[in-house]
């Protein structure tokens, strides 16, 4: 049963009522408390309500729910906005050409503002609990302080991921600090990494307490894993105002940050408090079923109530009908983005992740409320990780589906451990972690070759690193984590250009895609809804018989197709557009303190 963020009216009104202190104020600032902070933050039940209040901005209309999650991270070498070739502000957010006045984003209640609103709520809670709550490791107030520190770090990590340098706000706003300039992200990273170190000492492991028996609350495994992720990002390549480079801060060196990441991931692994689900499909069925029990693969999920959130609404296998046997979420839900067409053909044919991740069909018009699967075209695929048909709940809202965002999972812990171990200790130390990920991905009959022999052959650091870059692709396509990883590996433009070349070859059936069939054959299975497809695999070119219907399987364009070239905007260098600009409304309302870099 999903947890709902329910906050006592007294607490929410007294601590977090939004007001506009000045006409040009770009942050939602909390009003002066009318309830004694000493009472709230010395009483666990009241303090918990305040902590839940930190999560409210996640679900605001133009925050994570409808703006950040649907757009950030698209257009990599694995994922894209399915109508990237269509001119407009939505596509511009994905094709590395967003402008400060982007109409989808340039509003005062946008994700940028909502993230700072969440940070301010966290700041109030952190200050109050430190002052009045006696937060000690293992105590209820300690858990709540650790959660507040972690939620603040989540908001800040996502701000940095999308916008680069942003103002540093680690205390509640005062009239003197209402307007602040941007702070170097190096300073922010160091603060967040320190905060997460403190939080990891305060919070419990998954299922160690009743509070941590759900992945909608912060636990020690997630905090340590998230700290490891931030350490890798902080030491990686990224665009600074003076160019793409690693940080020059010695505290954020590769040696120090990779050592921290390796220590934290090994701590999570050794704890036994999380694990890979037994099958890849089982993981995603569990996710769509909204099973939020802690202790499995999901480490923490951004929580949405049933009537908020748009993960399936945006990313699910497309449903054409406004309602059918699986959903009543409205017409043409899902399918906004999908895997690049090459991804399915890049997987090993027996990799069990392939058919879960890449779906070539949608659900068509409904007859008597029953919709059937329909094949599309080669250039439009859907993310199979998100499926209404795997839900246990029938969605009736026409605006939201309420399914959580899985923010981090245990497979990433293993791959971070492998990458850090490879860098610091060599490929031999990385091999067990990579093998564990691949062992879940291949049937037992294939593991001697696809797992053991494959990994054992990666005897150089370079070979292991390249294999990990590829493994991240196969494991995480559709989770929109790839963009930040390509940036930190300094591979963004190189991989995008490689993807464009590969897509052109696929559309023309040349080079490595010469054996991809041009005709698919399908028939309906016994349920008369699902289709059995022949011809998707390389080399399947023989007509399977009269019971099948043939469909031309071609790209809807030419080799030099506009859609291929729209992976990023023509004339734009993605390495110089790693971040979105700060939107104009916030520049104008900053009292001259904020500006855009990177040529915006």
Structure token pair of residue 37: 């902070």
DSSP string, 242-262: TEEE----GGG-HHHHHHHHH
* Those residues with Cβ within 8 angstroms of residue 327's Cβ, 6 or more apart along the chain or in another chain: 312, 319, 333, 388, 391, 394, 395, 401
Q: Are residues 370 and 385 in contact, defined by beta-carbon separation less than 8 angstroms?
A: no
Q: Are residues 117 and 29 in contact, defined by beta-carbon separation less than 8 angstroms?
A: no
* Those residues with Cβ within 8 angstroms of residue 313's Cβ, 6 or more apart along the chain or in another chain: 329, 330, 333, 334, 399, 400, 401
Scanning 275-364, the segments in alpha helix (DSSP H) are: 280-288, 311-315, 341-346, 353-357
Query: For residues 82 and 320, what is the distance between their CA atoms, to the nearest angstrom?
Result: 15
What is the H or E stretch that residue 549 is in? strand 549-552
The pLDDT assigned to 262 comes to 99
Domain locations along the chain: 512-552
Place of tokens 């009318």: 34
> Any idea what DSSP says for residue 526?
T
Structure token pair of residue 221: 């495994």
- Count how many Cα atoms sit within 13 Å of the Cα of residue 342 in the half-sphere of its side chain: 27
**Which sign, positive or negative, has the C-alpha torsion 348, 349, 352, 357?**
positive
Terminal-to-terminal C-alpha distance of the chain: 45
pLDDT tens sequence across 336-373: 999 999 999 999 999 999 999 999 999 999 999 999 99
* Those residues with Cβ within 8 angstroms of residue 132's Cβ, 6 or more apart along the chain or in another chain: 37, 38, 40, 41, 42
Which among 565, 564, 543 is positioned nearest to 555, based on CA atoms?
564
Q: Are residues 382 and 374 in contact, defined by beta-carbon separation less than 8 angstroms?
A: no
Helix, strand, coil abundance in the chain, percent, nearest 5 = 45, 10, 45
Query: For residues 278 and 297, what is the distance between their CA atoms, to the nearest angstrom?
Result: 10
**CA-to-CA dists, residue 416 to 13, 233, 235, 294, angstroms:** 41, 11, 13, 21
Q: Are strands 337-339 and 79-81 parallel, antiparallel or unpaired?
A: antiparallel
Q: What are phi and psi of 367, to 5 degrees?
A: -115, 120
* Those residues with Cβ within 8 angstroms of residue 494's Cβ, 6 or more apart along the chain or in another chain: none
Which among 81, 61, 29, 67 is positioned nearest to 483, based on CA atoms?
81
Structure token pair of residue 296: 């499995």
Q: What are phi and psi of 214, to 5 degrees?
A: -130, 145
Total residues belonging to the chain: 600
The pLDDT assigned to 15 comes to 56
For residue 94, give the 3-state DSSP assignment.
coil
Q: Are residues 282 and 260 in contact, defined by beta-carbon separation less than 8 angstroms?
A: no
Query: For residues 500 and 480, what is the distance between their CA atoms, to the nearest angstrom?
Result: 18
Which among 30, 19, 21 is positioned nearest to 54, based on CA atoms?
30
CA angle 284, 290, 291 (to 5 degrees): 85
The pLDDT assigned to 33 comes to 47
pLDDT by position in tens, the chain (length 600) = 454 443 333 444 445 543 333 233 333 444 444 468 999 999 999 999 999 999 999 999 899 999 999 999 999 999 999 999 999 999 999 999 999 999 999 999 999 999 999 999 999 999 999 999 999 999 999 999 999 999 999 999 999 999 999 999 999 999 999 999 999 999 999 999 999 999 999 999 999 999 999 999 999 999 999 999 999 999 999 999 999 999 999 999 999 999 999 999 999 999 999 999 999 999 999 999 999 999 999 999 999 998 889 999 999 999 999 999 999 999 999 999 999 999 999 999 999 999 999 999 999 999 999 999 999 999 999 999 999 999 999 999 999 999 999 999 999 999 999 999 999 999 999 999 999 999 999 999 999 999 999 999 999 999 999 999 999 999 999 999 999 999 999 999 999 999 999 999 999 999 999 999 999 999 999 999 999 999 999 999 999 999 999 999 999 887 779 999 999 999 999 999 999 999 999 999 999 999 999 888
Q: What are phi and psi of 533, to 5 degrees?
A: -110, 135
Which among 512, 521, 511, 513 is positioned nearest to 542, based on CA atoms?
521
Q: Are residues 280 and 356 in contact, defined by beta-carbon separation less than 8 angstroms?
A: yes
Q: Are residues 196 and 137 in contact, defined by beta-carbon separation less than 8 angstroms?
A: no
Query: For residues 284 and 311, what is the distance between their CA atoms, to the nearest angstrom?
Result: 13
What is the H or E stretch that residue 80 is in? strand 79-81
């Amino acid at each position: 049963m999903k947890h709902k963020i329910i906050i006592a009216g007294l607490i929410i009104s007294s601590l977090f009522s939004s007001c506009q202190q000045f006409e040009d104020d770009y942050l939602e600032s909390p009003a002066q408390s009318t309830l004694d902070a000493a009472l709230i933050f010395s009483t666990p039940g009241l303090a918990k309500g305040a902590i839940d209040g930190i999560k409210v901005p996640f679900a605001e209309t133009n925050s994570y729910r409808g703006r950040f999650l649907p757009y950030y991270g698209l257009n990599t070498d694995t994922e894209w906005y399915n109508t990237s070739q269509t001119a407009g502000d939505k596509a511009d957010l994905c094709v590395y050409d967003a402008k400060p006045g982007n109409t989808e984003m340039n509003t005062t209640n946008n994700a940028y503002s909502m993230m700072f609103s969440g940070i301010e709520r966290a700041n109030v809670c952190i200050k109050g609990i430190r002052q009045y709550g006696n937060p000690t490791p293992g105590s209820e107030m300690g858990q709540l302080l650790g959660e507040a520190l972690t939620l603040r770090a989540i908001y800040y990590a996502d701000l940095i991921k999308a916008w680069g340098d942003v103002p540093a706000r680690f205390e509640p706003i005062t009239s003197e600090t209402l307007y602040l300039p941007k702070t170097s992200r190096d300073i922010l990273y160091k603060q967040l990494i320190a905060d997460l170190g403190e939080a990891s000492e305060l919070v419990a492991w998954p299922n160690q307490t009743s509070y941590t028996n759900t992945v909608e609350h912060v636990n020690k495994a997630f905090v340590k894993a998230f700290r490891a992720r931030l350490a890798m990002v902080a030491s990686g390549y990224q665009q600074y105002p003076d160019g793409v480079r690693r940080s020059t801060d010695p505290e954020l060196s590769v040696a120090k940050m990779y050592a921290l990441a390796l220590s934290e991931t090994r701590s999570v692994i050794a704890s036994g408090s999380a694990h890979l689900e037994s099958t890849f499909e089982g993981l995603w069925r569990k996710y769509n079923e909204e099973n939020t029990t802690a202790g499995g693969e999901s480490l923490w999920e951004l929580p949405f109530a049933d009537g908020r959130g748009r993960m399936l609404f945006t990313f699910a296998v497309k449903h054409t009908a406004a309602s059918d046997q699986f959903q009543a979420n409205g017409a043409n839900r899902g399918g906004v983005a999908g895997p690049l067409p090459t991804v399915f053909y890049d997987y090993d044919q027996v990799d069990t992740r392939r058919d879960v991740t890449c779906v070539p069909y949608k659900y068509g018009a409904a007859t008597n409320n029953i919709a059937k699967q329909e094949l599309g075209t080669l250039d439009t695929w859907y993310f199979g990780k998100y499926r209404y048909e795997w839900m246990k709940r029938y969605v009736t809202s026409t605006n939201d589906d309420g399914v959580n965002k899985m923010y981090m999972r245990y497979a990433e812990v293993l791959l971070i451990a492998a990458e850090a171990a490879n860098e610091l200790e060599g490929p031999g130390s990385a091999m067990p972690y990579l093998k564990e990920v691949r062992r879940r991905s291949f049937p037992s009959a294939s593991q001697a070759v696809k797992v053991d022999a494959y990994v054992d052959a990666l005897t150089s650091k370079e070979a292991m690193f390249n294999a990990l870059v590829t493994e991240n692709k196969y494991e995480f396509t559709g989770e929109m984590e790839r963009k930040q990883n390509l940036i930190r590996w300094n591979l963004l433009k190189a991989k995008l250009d490689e993807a464009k070349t590969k897509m052109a070859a696929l559309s023309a059936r040349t080079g490595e895609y010469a054996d991809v069939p041009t005709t698919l054959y399908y028939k309906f299975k016994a349920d008369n809804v699902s289709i059995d497809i022949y011809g998707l695999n390389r080399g399947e070119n023989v007509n399977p018989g009269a019971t099948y219907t043939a469909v031309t399987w071609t790209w809807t364009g030419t080799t030099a197709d506009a859609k291929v070239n729209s992976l990023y905007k023509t004339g734009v260098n993605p390495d110089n557009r790693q971040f979105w600009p700060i939107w104009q409304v916030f520049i104008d309302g900053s009292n001259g303190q904020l500006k855009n870099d990177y040529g915006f």
